[in-house]
Amino acid sequence: MTRVSRQTRDVVLIAEPLSPATVEALGPDFDVRHCDGADRVALLEAIADADAVLVRSATRIDGEALAAARRLKVVARAGVGLDNVDVRAATAAGVMVVNAPTSNIVSAAELAVALMLAAARHVSPAHAALRRGEWSRSRYTGVELYEKTVGIVGLGRIGVLVAQRLAAFGMSVIAYDPYVQAGRAAQVGVRLVDLDTLLAESDFMSVHLPKTPETVGLIGAAQLAVVKPGLVLVNAARGGIVDEPALFDALESGRVAAAGLDVFAVEPCTDSPLFDLENVVATPHLGASTEEAQEKAGVAVARSVRLALAGELVPDAVNVQGGLIAEDVRPGIPLTERLGRVFTGVAGELAQQIDVEVRGEITEHDVSVLQLAALKGVFTDVVEDAVTYVNAPLLAAERGTAVRLVVEADSPDHRNLITIRGTLADGSQVSVSGTLVGIAQRERIVAVNDYDIDLEPTDHLAFVSYHDRPGMVGTVGRILGEAGVNIAGMQVSRNAKGGQALVALSVDSAIAPEVLQDIETAMDAASARAVDLS
């Protein structure tokens, strides 16, 4: 029997034309192959040996393709939508699916504004008339955006960009989004309203919702019957959110003055009654069709493929460990990993039991990925081998560390709070808590061993537990100063006057072990730990 040689390099299959920067971002470590993903026979043959496949929108990765892909580990969609990828089937097959969720947001926002302007000023029919030799100025009198009210349906990333751009036109911006807090909307200058209010007040409307069973037909006959007369409506999000027959009737009746459409319920769409109306400007799903968006999408998914094939967590994965990673959960992933490393540094040993406690608003979503992030952080500075989101649970099992995810909606002091709490061999407990603050979602350590602090998790940290008495803070400063270590931040917390206290330090360079020992001795400290996150 002839033995088949094993592939020495992972095979990455590019099934559709992508920017040259995509291949450059993949680097030299892979066997990069190409095929025409729209040719079903060619795709099924080529995908059989692929470890990863990169697609755009023309290649269908469904159950049949996944069954043919014996080695497949990751499907990467160079764009936002995943209509052509069966995420459920991929999850069942243990295949990661990634996309580029922010690659086209500027392009999509700009197209929505372009459609709004074109519809308001009748650019498309006026252009067609001029090409027919007609000079019809009065026929195509439009309306200004200035001092009008625009309703944004869906205040996600693209919706926010559209709102910001239209505010620059002097428009009053309102929005409907049941998953956005009023305070967050106010931060970007938008008044949050219910859908009925938006329909009644909007002179212009722009749709920016994902397509889900709940949003299909959201703007239908009943809604269009009560909109403010003369509405200009734009849909550059997903087809089907605006009911097309109902929109046709509203445009014919004049209730809706004009529409700008980039998406349709069934695509490709080359034959629609809407195309016969002069008050409709339509484009063939061009939201992501800019050179910049295509390059950003290709580079983003190439980086994701590298991470996925290395066993790392991919921030842009839409399925991991069988579950979805919600947008609100993703910023907590790197924070949780850092908390895990701080936990190990403070504990000084491996815990027998680790609880990953997640509290607050994000518990409305699946937060199981934070357990993986915590374990990766806990073991990063414990084992010599590279720790990944794939092998971290195995490392815990091999070392007899029990792990539990604790989820509580109640979070009295913080919007969201992540705590890693562990029980050591002697029965004592160690805990580290962190949160994200502000619009920029800045990472903060807010508690260590139940001592309240407020410290940025910089590259070099130190934590000293001691008996509270005068002169101790000065002692720390003196010893670090003599060692040439600059203090960037310091927090002191205690459980009672004259009781146990904790000093938490952020410093500009690593603290040598002998310097840490000097601090511990001089303060007669119960423990002195340094943590290096660089």
Please give the positions annotated as active site.
238, 267, 285
Q: Which of 398, 406, 339, 347 is CA-nearest to residue 530?
A: 347
Token representation of residue 524: 């007669």
Write the secondary structure of 52-90 as one string of H (helix), E (strand) and C (coil): EEEECCCCCECHHHHHHCCCCCEEEECCCCCCCECHHHH
H or E stretch covering 493: strand 487-494
3-state secondary structure of 463: strand
CA gap 279, 251 in Å, rounded: 7
The CA–CA distances, whole Å, from 343 to 42, 357, 391, 448, 532 equal: 51, 13, 19, 9, 12
Alpha-carbon dihedral sign for residues 496, 501, 506, 508: positive
Residue 168 has a CB neighbour count (10 Å cut-off) of 9
Q: Which residues contact 325 (CB under 8 A, 6 or more apart)?
A: 315, 317, 318, 319, 333, 366, 369
CB 361 within 8 A of CB 179: no
The DSSP code for 320 is: B
